[in-house]
Structure 1
Amino acid sequence: MISRAIGFEKGFGLADGNFFETFEIMLPKLTEYDVMVQNIAISINSIDTQLRQSGKGTKAPHILGFDSVGIVTQVGGKVPDLVAGDRVLFAGTTTRYGSYSEKQIVDSRIIAKLPENLSAEKAAAMPLAFLTAYELLIEKMGLTAKENCNIGTILIINGAGGVGSIMIQLAKWLGLTVIATASRPESIKWCTSLGADFVINHRKNLTKQINKLGYDSLPYIAVLHSADQYYDEMSELLSPLGNLGSTVTTAKDHDLTKLQKKSGSFVGEYIFAKTDYNFRIETQGKALTLLTKLLSKEMLQSTLTKTLDGFSPDVMYQAHQLVESNQLIGKLVIRY
């Protein structure tokens, strides 16, 4: 099966020009757990811009794209609960061609069916960021995945970003008090609208601001931006037996003895670890099913804030410009 796709041959910076091209790619044959999906709405994530810059991490031609909502067109022999015509959402993998493609082969175990009352655009903004937030809070920090069944306070650094925007809401649903960081008036307003109990400025001393709120330490801290900048301060701010989590890579080594004396834990989150190693991948489909339920019941709101229309190199280039500007609040979705 041939599919039209948008990609590039070598990594490039946006300032060098638009090197996105249209390709005709050969899709792999369906395995017994696979489905073929016709993509109808996709979201652009920061990992897309990082992979475009480096040109590493996926095979050439590089067909990126992870978040998607699409319509199932073919089903493998051991797919029990999906049929042609179902709308689905997923976050994809780094091991196959991504959603910058009209058609895509996806493992059904990382998919959730999309209820009729949810729009494709609003749903497409959510999967990757939700899985990142869910796995960090539930699987790494040990919180219980039930409404109001947890206690404690969490600090979320970069609350207005794609992951932070969902983590604020998910943490509130779990029962936590949420302190988010933001610096611009519009991003502060955004975090508050999502349910953050407090919003502090990450351009100022965080410890002093936390102390003014009445906290000497915090049991949960999520660093979603600039891990190198915040590691030392957050290690000091963490409560004994607390969890310090990060979704971003570091450029230098960090001293774990800062946490050892508190029996604190440092936990990293990378959602493609499961699909890269074919490890418990079905848990992602189950987590996305929870996402669809929370969206349907309006217990979570979509983080969609910007929509572009069209399937072309020019639209993809414009989308990457907007995401890479670091001025975008929430998520950007492209409708095919």
Structure 2
Amino acid sequence: MKAVGFKSSLPIVEENSFIDFETDKPVPVQHQLLVKIRAISVNPVDFKIRQSAAKDSVLEHPKIIGWDAVGTVEAIGENVSLFKVGDEVYYAGDLTKQGSNAEYQVIDERIVGKKPTTLSDEASAVIPLTALTAWEILFDRMRLSLEKDKGKSILIIGGAGGVGSIAIQLAKKLLGLTVIATASRPESIAWCKEMGADVVVNHQDLVNEVRNEGFQFVDFILDFVDTNFYWDSMAELIKPQGHIASITGSTVPLLLNKLKTKSVSFSWELMYTRSMFQTEDMIQQHHILNQVADLLDEGVLVGTLKETLHGLSADVLKKAHTQLESGKTIGKLAIKF
């Protein structure tokens, strides 16, 4: 089968930052599906792993990355019970396995959902990673609910990105929260409002911007940009007994004592935790993706696709990563095979 990968972690402008190659089609076993891929999307995790996975070495075999895909089930493992051959599916994959930048991929059925019926392949392909991340951070990590949290305020740092675009919708439409999103350019401000944000503020002067909109404190904060950079601002803005959650990691230890006097909770979210550790509730991602598909088909949620590239090739992946690394992507970028 055809695939795109890399043997060394090179700047995206280098000729071999991605290479085209042929490899064997994988065979599904146990709970695995063999999926014929029709479309994928790119996410920040893609270029971060490309930049680090083979930084000081040359891999013997090319590494295939990519963690969002749509396709058709072509074969199934002996223990598969959730899907059958011919089913259309979408998923975000597993960091510990080969990725979706290929014609075929094997994937555990427990982290796969049914493709939304009303969305195109490319519009469906951009959903899984961002929807799972946003859903888990709101419902599993922060444990928010419409019953107890309706009307409370949430600040979403990085509202125009892929995860932010879905998080705004979930927070507004499923939880009934007052949503404050950050954006600075006219086009990203407009996008946040289109997704449902009540207020959009400039992240460059976060504390003053939020307070100028009438919020002395906010009940919840989601960081989708840079935990370290915004830590002091988040500690200042969070309401006593509030909750902060982040997906971005930290290069230095966080000063958690800044949250102590307010008795503030803090959570990390990594969408790959369930698949990496084969947690007992791993199948929850199957259920989340099915719920999200239903919400998209019902029109409760709207798609976040902004641009589509075409073709499975090193050149196309280079173009996609170049755009993503610019840090100015609004919504999501898909690649249709």
1:16–1:172 distance in 2 versus 1, CA, 3 Å: same
The one-letter code sitting in structure 1 at the alignment partner of 2:42 is I
Q: Which residue of the partner structure matches residue 152 of structure 2?
A: 152
Q: Secondary structure at the match of 1:154?
A: strand
Structure 1: how far apart are the matches of 2:43 and 2:35? 20
How big is the shift at 1:261?
1.8
Q: Secondary structure at the match of 1:307?
A: strand
Structure 2: how far apart are the matches of 1:56 and 1:217? 44
How big is the shift at 1:59?
9.4
1:242–1:148 distance in 2 versus 1, CA, 3 Å: closer
After superposition, give the CA deviation of every residue in 1:303-323 in whole Å (9 maximum; x if it has no partner).
Answer: 101001111111111111111
- Contact map agreement 1:143 1:150 (CA 8 A) in 2: no
Q: Secondary structure at the match of 1:63?
A: coil
How many residues are treated as equivalent by the alignment?
332
Q: Which residue of the partner structure matches residue 186 of structure 1?
A: 187
After superposition, give the CA deviation of every residue in 1:120-166 in whole Å (9 maximum; x if it has no partner).
Answer: 1111111001111111111111112x699733110001101111111
58-67 or 4-13: bigger deviation: 58-67
Structure 2: how far apart are the matches of 1:215 and 1:278? 41
Structure 2: how far apart are the matches of 1:254 and 1:115? 39
Stretches of structure 2 lacking an aligned partner (at least 5 in a row)? none
Q: Does 1:97 align with 2:95?
A: no
The one-letter code sitting in structure 2 at the alignment partner of 1:54 is S
Structure 2: how far apart are the matches of 1:149 and 1:238? 15
Q: Which residue of the partner structure matches residue 73 of structure 1?
A: 74
Q: Which residue of the partner structure matches residue 283 of structure 2?
A: 282
How big is the shift at 1:99?
0.4
The one-letter code sitting in structure 2 at the alignment partner of 1:41 is A
Q: Which residue of the partner structure matches residue 122 of structure 2?
A: 121
The one-letter code sitting in structure 2 at the alignment partner of 1:20 is F
Structure 2: how far apart are the matches of 1:292 and 1:108? 16
Percent identical: 41
Q: Give the TM-score normalised by the residue count of structure 2.
A: 0.94
Structure 2: how far apart are the matches of 1:147 and 1:17? 54
Q: Secondary structure at the match of 2:164?
A: helix
Stretches of structure 1 lacking an aligned partner (at least 5 in a row)? none
Structure 2: how far apart are the matches of 1:250 and 1:168? 23
Q: Does 1:136 align with 2:137?
A: yes
1:240-279 matches, cutoff 5 A: 240-279=240-279
The one-letter code sitting in structure 1 at the alignment partner of 2:274 is K
220-229 or 255-264: bigger deviation: 255-264
The one-letter code sitting in structure 2 at the alignment partner of 1:6 is V
Cα RMSD over matched residues? 1.8
After superposition, give the CA deviation of every residue in 1:61-100 in whole Å (9 maximum; x if it has no partner).
Answer: 2100011001000112222231111110000011111100
Structure 1: how far apart are the matches of 2:147 and 2:180? 19
After superposition, give the CA deviation of every residue in 1:36-74 in whole Å (9 maximum; x if it has no partner).
Answer: 000000000011011111125999521000110010001
1:116–1:278 distance in 2 versus 1, CA, 3 Å: same
Q: Which residue of the partner structure matches residue 46 of structure 2?
A: 48
Q: Secondary structure at the match of 1:254?
A: coil
- Contact map agreement 1:180 1:196 (CA 8 A) in 2: yes
- Contact map agreement 1:12 1:55 (CA 8 A) in 2: no
Structure 2: how far apart are the matches of 1:19 and 1:314? 10
Q: Secondary structure at the match of 1:271?
A: coil
